[in-house]
Amino acid sequence: MKGGIPMSQPESVFDLRLCLITDRAFCPPERFLPILAESLDAGVTWVQYREKRGLDDRASFELALQVRELTRARGIPLVVDDRLDLALAIDADGMHVGQRDLPVPVIRKLWPHIPLLGLTVSTLAQVEEACQLGVDYLGAGAFPTQTKLDCITIGTPGLQTFVAQGGLPVIATGGVKPENTRELIATGCAGVAVVSAIWAAERPGEIVQTLRREIDAGLAGPAPVQACRT
């Protein structure tokens, strides 16, 4: 499968095409779970739980459980950003970490059989190190975004270089919208991760469907260069 990572069992595949990163800041509280459910049903292939503002640990755990319930009911993978304790507590499918979070070897020591582990990279040196660490995919900032002001962006030329250099699936993040999605997929990226374009939309399901059309049309061309962790 293009954009997918085979894991330890041959029949177990993570479809990396369209990730929805959670962010309660873009919608009224009562709309959060309905938007999530609508987006999952419309074609989101995996979810990253990333809630860093306005919630204490207990509230974040309880919200994550509700997210987990929705994703599990649909057979859609859920990864947790940064928080190993939270990922283990809700029985998540994996984690995504940045350069300033827990080191990958520490995560693997504490969670030896983690199903999916991604790492944010912004330089070629970090790409090379990530390959040595044996992560499953890379996340890289494509365009500037208001959802993460400290995000380092590399543009489409940088994404293409990362894809070719690392041989790992690369997920484009930051400023992803329907109108630039096909351009991002053309770099060889295995998928995109979206925040505001979905959460702030009046009809999020329609945005998801449009994103999927653009992704799938882009992946219908030459297969992206990617390798899987063994």
How large is the average pLDDT for residues 215-226?
A: 66
- DSSP character for 170? E
Assigned superfamily of 4-219:
Aldolase class I (3.20.20.70)
Longest dimension (CA), the chain: 46
Contacts with 178 (C-beta within 8 Å, 6 or more apart), sequence order: 197, 207, 210, 211, 214
Exposure pattern of 42-81 as b/e (b: 16+ CB <10 Å)? Answer: bbbbbbbbbbeeeeeeeebeebbeebbebbeeeebbbbbb
8 A C-beta contact, residue 78 and residue 95: no
* 190-to-59, 63, 65, 85 alpha-carbon distances in Å: 33, 29, 28, 28
Q: Is 94 helix (H, G, I), strand (E, B) or coil?
A: strand
Banded model confidence at residue 184, pLDDT cuts 50, 70, 90? very high
Cα distance between residue 72 and residue 77, in whole Å: 7
Strands 13-15 and 18-21: unpaired
Q: Could you tell me if 173 and 138 are in contact, meaning their C-beta atoms sit under 8 angstroms apart?
A: no
Which position has the token pair 């995504």?
Answer: 96
Domain boundaries, the chain: 4-219
DSSP 8-class letter at 96: E
Q: How confident is the model at residue 8 (pLDDT cuts 50, 70, 90)?
A: very low
Averaged over 102-119, what is the pLDDT? Answer: 97
- As beta bridge partners, residue 78 has 47
Segment 29-52, tens digit of pLDDT? 999 999 999 999 999 999 999 998
Contact predicate 176/18, CB 8 Å:
no
What is the rounded distance in angstroms from the CA atom of residue 211 to the CA atom of residue 18?
A: 8
* Predicted model pTM: 0.90
The pLDDT value recorded for residue 152 is 78
Over range 86-115, report the average pLDDT. 97
Confidence of residue 215 (pLDDT cuts 50, 70, 90): very high
Residue among 138, 131, 87 nearest 113 (CA): 87
- Report d(CA 128, CA 115) in Å as an integer: 21
